[in-house]
Amino acid sequence: FEPKPCEPEMLALFHDKEYLEILKKTSSGEFELAMLKKGIGTDDCPLVPDIYSYCLNVVGATLEGVNLVLDGGFQRAFNPIGGFHHGYRGHAEGFCYINDVGVAIEYLLKLGKRVAFIDIDAHHCNGLEDAFKANDQVLNISLHETGDTLYPKTGYESDYGEGKGQGFSINVPLLGKTDDEVYWEAFYRIVPPAVKAFAPDFVIAEVGADTM
C-alpha cells in the first residue's frame, strides 16, 4: 500500500500547536532561536528543508497501517520509516521531529481502544513514555540498553508510571552486549504475561533495527 500524507491537524492529536508552527517554519529555511529551545537546529535534529512534509508522510504511513488493521481485515501492518519514539509533545529529540507512534496512540484512544506499546529498540522510548506515563489505557513496555551507557539516559526499572498510569510503564534496562539468551529470557518472562493481563485492543511495536 502506498500511504498518503496525513492531514496537518492529525499531528496536533499528539504535538503542541506552538511546536508545530515552529516545525513549519523550519521547512521553509527560516531560523530563529526559538527553534533551538524546541530541539531543532541541534546535531540530532538539524534544520532540514521540507521536514514538515516529511513528517506528514511518516505519520500518514503509520496511520495507514493502523487503519488497515482496524478496517481492512489485516492482522498486522509494517511501516519501515515509522517509530520516532524520542519525539516529545513539545520538542524534537534524538532524530525525531515528530512522534508518529504518539499520534497513532492518541488516534486509537479517541476510538476507545486500549493500546499496548512494545518497544524493542536499543534506545528507551523517552518521548512516548513521557506522554502516556499517567494513562492507564496505554501499556508501555520497553527493553533497551541501560541509560547508564546509552542515550537517552532514561528508562530505569524504577520508572513505572505515575498517577492513574502507575504500573502501566514497564522498563527493562539491559547491560550493553546483552546476548540473545538473556534477551530472550527477559522478553518472554515479562512481555507476554503483561500484555495478556492488560488485554489490549491494539498492539503497536517499535522494532528498531539497532536492537540487532
Catalytic residue check, 91? no
User: 15, 85, 86, 124: which one is catalytic?
Assistant: 86
Where are the extended beta strands (E) located within the chain? 115-119, 138-145, 169-174, 202-206
Comparing CA positions, the residue from 153, 106, 151, 158 lying closest to residue 128 is 106
Residue 210: its pLDDT value, please?
A: 80
Q: Are 208 and 123 in contact (CB under 8 A)?
A: yes
Question: Kind and range of the H or E element at 55?
Answer: helix 51-71
Residue 72: its pLDDT value, please?
A: 78
Examine the pLDDT at 71 and tell me if it is beyond 80: yes
Residue 209: its pLDDT value, please?
A: 82
Residue 197: its pLDDT value, please?
A: 98
Residue 67: its pLDDT value, please?
A: 97
Q: Examine residue 152 and say whether the peptide bond preceding it is cis (omega within 30 degrees of 0).
A: yes
Rounded mean pLDDT of 121-149?
Answer: 98
Residue 43: its pLDDT value, please?
A: 93
Digit-coded pLDDT (tens) for 6-56? 999 999 999 999 999 999 998 887 788 999 999 999 999 999 889 999 999
Residue 211: its pLDDT value, please?
A: 77
C-alpha cell at 156: 530505569
Examine the pLDDT at 212 and tell me if it is beyond 80: no
**In angstroms, rounded to a whole number, what is the distance separating the alpha carbons of residues 198 and 207?**
21
Specify the pTM. Answer: 0.96
- Phi and psi at 93, nearest 5°, equal -165, 150
Q: Name the pLDDT band for 208 (thresholds 50, 70, 90).
A: confident
Examine the pLDDT at 57 and tell me if it is beyond 80: yes
**In angstroms, rounded to a whole number, what is the distance separating the alpha carbons of residues 126 and 104?**
16
**In angstroms, rounded to a whole number, what is the distance separating the alpha carbons of residues 8 and 73?**
27
Rounded mean pLDDT of 84-90?
Answer: 98
Q: Name the pLDDT band for 145 (thresholds 50, 70, 90).
A: very high
C-alpha cell at 15: 504535538
Rounded mean pLDDT of 121-137?
Answer: 98
Examine the pLDDT at 163 and tell me if it is beyond 90: yes
Average pLDDT, the chain: 96
User: For the chain, percent helix, then strand, then coil, each to nearest 5?
Assistant: 40, 10, 50
